């Protein structure tokens, strides 16, 4: 049938899943199912989309593609590895601005108000949340999450699976290591090593990641 809406699945039926569903609907997708391993959510609906069962059903439902709407960076990357061969959608909100030279990996999402400047590279299954700005020549590795209101100046490197909390600012040329968590409102003015929690103005490492945090 001509003009049929493309169909998508979203894995993750929490608050992040709701925003991903909204984004896909704005882009003209028909989201046919949400999947979540929390049994208490099965049979409910989010934005008129039913929660059909566990994430393992990803391979059972025919669609144009899927997005992993899971807030935990580690879990999101683990699921991407588990479901190799899936068609992962990348999605860019129409009320964002992304320069044509920007490279966006599969499964990554850019929400409303995002601004991504020239020659930035965004890896696979990244979250560029509401109102984030990323200036020229940045590199954001697989599975990283920039929370709402983050601002990255030019030539910033964000390592695999790193998390930058709400309102984090990063000056030009800084590197944030793999898996590192930067607390909300921090200002990054020098490189941060991998595997630490950093907070403050300026941001300083306060402790290594715990075993549980490394697997979030």
Catalytic residues: 136
106: Cβ contacts below 8 Å, ≥ 6 apart = 88, 89, 90, 124, 125
DSSP label of 138 = -
First CA to last CA distance, the chain: 43
Q: Which two tokens stand for residue 212?
A: 């549980």
What are the φ/ψ torsions at residue 163 (nearest 5 degrees)? -130, 125
Reduced to 3 states (helix: H, G, I; strand: E, B; else coil), residue 209 is: coil
How far, in Å, CA of 5 to CA of 99, rounded? 26
With CA atoms as reference, report the closest residue to 172 among 117, 112, 102, 108: 117
């Amino acid at each position: 049938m001509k003009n049929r809406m493309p169909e998508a699945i979203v894995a993750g039926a929490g608050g992040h899943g709701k925003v991903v569903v909204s984004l896909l609907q704005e882009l003209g997708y028909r989201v046919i199912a949400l999947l979540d391993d929390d049994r208490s959510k099965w049979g409910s609906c989010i934005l008129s989309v039913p929660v059909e069962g566990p994430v393992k059903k990803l391979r059972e439902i025919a669609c144009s593609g899927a997005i992993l709407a899971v807030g935990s960076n580690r879990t999101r990357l683990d699921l991407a590895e588990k479901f190799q061969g899936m068609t992962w959608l990348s999605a860019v909100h129409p009320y964002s601005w992304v320069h044509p030279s920007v490279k966006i990996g599969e499964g990554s999402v850019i929400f409303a108000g995002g601004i991504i400047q020239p020659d930035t590279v965004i890896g696979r299954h990244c979250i560029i949340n509401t109102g984030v700005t990323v200036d020229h020549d940045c590199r954001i590795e697989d599975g990283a999450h920039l929370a709402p209101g983050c601002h990255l100046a030019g030539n910033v490197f964000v390592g695999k699976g790193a998390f930058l909390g709400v309102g984090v600012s990063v000056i030009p040329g800084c590197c944030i290591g793999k898996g590192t968590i930067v607390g909300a409102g921090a200002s990054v003015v020098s490189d941060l090593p991998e595997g630490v929690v950093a907070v403050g103005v300026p941001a300083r490492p306060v402790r290594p990641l715990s075993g549980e945090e490394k697997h979030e």
